[in-house]
Homo-oligomer: A and B are copies of this chain.
Amino acid sequence: MSEQLKAKSGLRGRAARVGLDKQQIVAAAIQQIDQRGLAAFSMRELARTLKVSPAVIYWHVGGLQEDLFAEISAVITANLTDDTTSGADWKVRLRSVFMRYRQLVHQHPRVAPLLGAQMKSNGVANLAWVETVLSALTQAGFQGEALRDAFNALIGGLAGFVTMELAPPPADDSNDWQQGFAKRVADIDPLHFPYTHAVLPMISNRIFVLRWQNGIDVSYDSSFELLLNIIIDGLAQRAQQLNNPPE
């Protein structure tokens, strides 16, 4: 039997029988991060769960762990298109695409640090995202430096929010840190920090910095929506000033 026939019929030598490809590897990696978190992720552990030699990962993905991470980011943001609202008002389209971005990241919350805090993970994968935002802003009347700043304010503010929201807690197996931190928050000195102390029951574990759980356990929906509304409204105001300059 020729090599071609073997390949076509799926019959191969012991080495080739595994039949692994890049897609499956990336999918398995996402699953592993979903379950154990990014800090616990390892190439060797991934190879183990795939019942394969570590070198296989490198052969399929090529190069380094960073490249695998970039593939993961690409897969997660791949569905970030806006077909549904492509004819709509630019404000509606921006709302929609950023709500969708947050929704996608929340489907794999423990992958979030990759999207926000690693440059290589922002590949050409989500060009559709960029195109949507740029076309909406162009439609609004932005161009040149103003377009650039508007784009960065949107992505930096909103994607940045999601990154902070889903910042991973310590890898502490136990919840020692959670308890300790909760106690320190409860014991905040009313003399040094009167305003903080006054609203403690309202904000404890519900605002950034003073929390011991992240956006997986505590909802930041209304805070994100406030930020989204503020940015879009603010851009709309400034767009109007650009188009009808004060006389």
Contact = CB atoms under 8 A, between A and B. Distances in A.
A32 interface: no
Interface stretch (A44-52, A53-61, A167-175): A167-175
Contacts of A162: 160
A220 B150 CA distance: 11
Contacts of A168: 117-119
Interface residues of A, number: 82
A41 B241 CA distance: 48
Chain A interface SS verdict (over half): helix
Nearest to A222: B149
A168 B116 CA distance: 10
Contacts of A188: 124, 127
Contacts of A203: 134, 147-148, 151
Given A138-B195, A196-B130, A120 B153 contact: no
B227 A157 contact: yes
Contact of A169 (B119, B152, B165, B184): B119
B118 A209 contact: no
A163 B185 CA distance: 25
A31 B212 CA distance: 29
Given A147-B203, A195-B135, A167 B231 contact: no
Interface string A191-222: 01111101100110011111110100000101
Interface in A110-139: 113, 116-120, 122-124, 126-131, 134-135, 138
A76 interface: no
17 contacts: A66-B170, A116-B163, A116-B167, A119-B169, A119-B170, A122-B208, A130-B210, A134-B199, A138-B199, A144-B202, A147-B203, A148-B223, A155-B207, A156-B160, A157-B158, A157-B231, A163-B163
